[in-house]
A and B are shown apart, each in its own frame.
Chain A
Amino acid sequence: MTAMQPSLQPNLQPGPTTRQPVIEARGLIKTFGSVVGLDAADFDLYPGEVLAVIGDNGAGKSTLIKCLSGATIPDAGEILVEGQPVAFRRPQDARAAGIETVYQSLAVVPALDIASNMFLGREIRRHGPLGSVFRMLDHGQMRAIARQQLLALGIGTLQEITQAVETLSGGQRQAVAVARAAAFGSKVIILDEPTASLGVRETGQVLKLIRDLRDRGLPVVLISHNMPNVFEVADRIHIQRLGRRVAVVTPTSHSPSEAVAIMTGAMEGAAGLAASA
């Protein structure tokens, strides 16, 4: 208990303290006018783990994730990727650093087809002068890769890769967004509420996918309200409250109800951390 630092360094597993985080954030602050989104929030993601981020509405989960994915620029604080400070100004910057995000809104363009959506913003051009001079896209190759990627994720139910995304069901759209992230994410994949709009069967597929990604060595950040899902798949659980990280627990150290208690402030975060230490 006496060793407890206010900085809340995660020291829950033997590994983390000796390993370098893939992403870490220190003292992130983000305000929207008078509304405080992040109040000196910290964050650590270690190699090969599934880290769940939970928190009540307005706890700053989404803002935190948007800072890590370049969609929002924090007012203060620093973000390090593999120990190197980074300053993401745009989503492209984070993507270039190997961080792929599946937003809750999915960020798919309804009128475009599946393949176009998967390659949106990083299209493949034809070889030779057709590509370099006439900037011609290689639709065939992009469709082939998109089809492969969806099959690899066990989502073979899509009829046509040239179908507009708006003709797909919610779960299928989710699958397209996740497949895009899995295809391009080289360091980290962030999933914001990936099961919110899914049925039981599709939720099971996404959870399996998360484990598959981890087994491939990609750390995954999972933002979710769904406690059973979180406790099923996460290695560690980052609890966000009032714009800060108040605790990091594991599914073995805490029960779901304890995690909810920390999340809502019924139980002190520091106590939660200490108990797990």
Chain B
Amino acid sequence: MRILEAADMSQVQTTTVDAAERFLQRRTPLQRLHSILHRYPALSPAVVLVLAALVFGAINTRFFAPANLSLVAQQVAVVGGLAVGQTLIILTAGIDLSVGAIMVFTSIVMAGSAANFGVPGPAALVIGLVFGTLAGGLNGLLVTRLRLPPFIVTLGTLNIFTALTLLVSNGASIQGRNIPDVLLWTGQAIAIGPFRLTTGVVLMLAMYVIATYVLRNTAWGRHIYAVGDDREAARLAGIAVNRILLSAYLVAGLVFAITAWILIGRVGAASPNAATDANLDSITAVVIGGTSLFGGRGIIIGSLLGALIVGVIRNGLALAGVDVLWQTLVVGVLVIVAVATDQWIRRVRA
């Protein structure tokens, strides 16, 4: 009798479980969209970029002129380059407010060591790359050793590197004629069909290709995601969390230094007052690109799309004759929409 009861019980339970499972497995169109976006984080920025391009192309036919698209690419090179390093940091659930300051500091070190101390061009470039990497490493050491929040650490180093830049340069730009050709190489034009890109743009794209490979196909890349998504789980799974964090900041520093090289080529000089908006612009690009500020989620190519979206919107609105201030306002709205979308995407159905 008791056995029979038990059997009945399990029968009842099985049917309710199956019914519940079937209930859970139902999919509304919205849920399907949700799971697609969850799986392919770069999809929404890609759609936004295509839509934006189509709209601006319809408003003003000059938008799709090769010369204009080339201009957008060149305008995006610096922020796009910084966004590679910024994405790395944000994937680890950090944030880097000092990216622009490190870049400008490095550009002054590069150009200054050549112009003021007679260091040969290639050596000046290497010195700059080492300085940038060490600057990133300083952020990493403060985050891992002193266990300070990245926001605070990089807020501090933002001010430190901004001040150092002004102290070292006395507030004066280093003119292009005093800068060796190697450092200006990134400004050289490359004609690809009707498009006129620069070596700086190609260098920026190359960084995306390499970063995509590293994040997807190496253990280090997977560990960046793991540390950002669930630090304790990563630690228990045997990942040396602090080593991963420190290396991420070092690599980001190197990326910022390479971007400093791109900046010198783009501006044709090294100025302590260049790229003042670069810090927030890089974060904007990463966020619009679908990378989560909570870490562990996102895809590096999204940040390139994000940088392009900002570039296209600014350019398109300018072509449409809209005031500059409205461009900034639109970018602000986009950031909020992107973060709201991320919040929605992160809510997963278990």
Chain A residues within CB distance 8 Å of chain B: 71, 90-92, 95, 101, 103, 105-112, 116-117, 120-123, 125, 134-137, 139, 164, 166-170, 199-200
Least CB distance, B61 to chain A, in whole angstroms? 43
Identify which of B38, B39, B233, B237 gathers the most chain A CB atoms within 10 Å of its CB. Answer: B237
B233 cross-chain contacts in A, Cβ below 8 A: 105-109
Residue among A112, A125, A168 having the largest count of chain B Cβ atoms under 10 Å: A112
Measured CB to CB, the closest approach of chain B to A126, in angstroms, equals 9
Residues of B within 8 Å of A199, CB to CB, are 17
Nearest B residue to A118 via CB reads: B237
25 contacts between A and B (CB under 8 A): A71-B235, A91-B237, A103-B236, A105-B232, A105-B236, A106-B233, A108-B233, A109-B225, A109-B233, A109-B296, A110-B229, A110-B296, A112-B222, A112-B225, A120-B222, A120-B226, A121-B237, A121-B238, A121-B239, A135-B218, A136-B217, A137-B222, A164-B39, A200-B10, A200-B13
Known: A91-B235, A122-B238, A170-B350. 16 other contacts (CB 8 A): A92-B238, A106-B233, A107-B233, A108-B233, A110-B230, A110-B348, A121-B223, A123-B222, A125-B219, A134-B213, A135-B217, A136-B217, A167-B348, A167-B349, A167-B350, A200-B10
Neighbouring B residues of A164 by C-beta, 8 Å: 38-39, 348
Question: Counting CB contacts under 8 A, is B240 at the interface?
Answer: yes
Q: Are A107 and B220 in contact (CB under 8 A)?
A: no
CA distance A198 to B218 in the complex (A): 34
The chain B residue sitting closest to A93, CB to CB, is B238
Complex contacts, B217 vs chain A, CB 8 Å? 134-137, 139
Q: Do residues A109 and B236 form an inter-chain contact, with CB atoms below 8 A?
A: no
A120 to B226, alpha carbons, bound, how many Å? 8
Give the 7 A-B residue pairs with the shortest CB-CB distance, closest first. Answer: A121-B238, A107-B236, A123-B219, A92-B238, A120-B237, A111-B229, A107-B233
Question: Which residue in B38, B218, B229, B232 is a CB contact (below 8 Å) of A136?
Answer: B218
A111-B297 CB under 8 A given contacts A120-B226, A167-B349, A200-B13: yes
Give Cα A123 to B35, complex, Å.
27
In chain B, what residue has the closest Cβ to A126? Answer: B217
Contact (Cβ within 8 A) A137 B232: no
Task: Give the secondary structure class of B's interface.
Answer: helix
Residue in chain A with minimal CB distance to B227: A109
Chain B interface category by residue count: 20 to 34
> Is A166 a contact partner of B350 (Cβ separation < 8 A)?
yes
B205 CB within 8 Å of chain A: no
A49 to B39, CA, bound (A): 43
Cα distance, A120 to B219, chains bound together (Å) = 8
- In the complex, what residues of A have CB within 8 A of residue B229's CB? 109-112
Residue pair A95, B238 in contact (C-beta under 8 Å): yes
Hey, what's the 0/1 contact readout for B5-22 against A, CB within 8 Å counting as 1? 000001001000100000
Q: Are B296 and A120 in contact (CB under 8 A)?
A: no
Interface string of B94-115 (1 = CB under 8 A from A): 0000000000000000000000
Query: Closest residue to B235 on the A side, CB-wise?
Result: A91
B234 within 8 A of A: yes
In the complex, A93→B225 CA distance in Å? 23
Contact B236 A116 (CB under 8 A): no
Shortest beta-carbon distance from A24 to chain B in Å: 23
B206-259 interface with A by 8 A CB criterion: 213, 217-220, 222-223, 225-226, 229-230, 232-240
Question: A89 vs B349: C-alpha distance in the bound complex, in angstroms?
Answer: 37
Chain B residues whose C-beta falls within 8 Å of the C-beta of A168 in the assembled complex: 350
Kindly state the separation between the CA atoms of A246 and B38 in the bound complex, as whole angstroms.
50
A120 CA to B229 CA in the complex, in Å?
13
Interface centre among B217, B296, B297 (most CB of A within 10 A): B217
CB distance from B146 to the nearest CB of A (A): 21
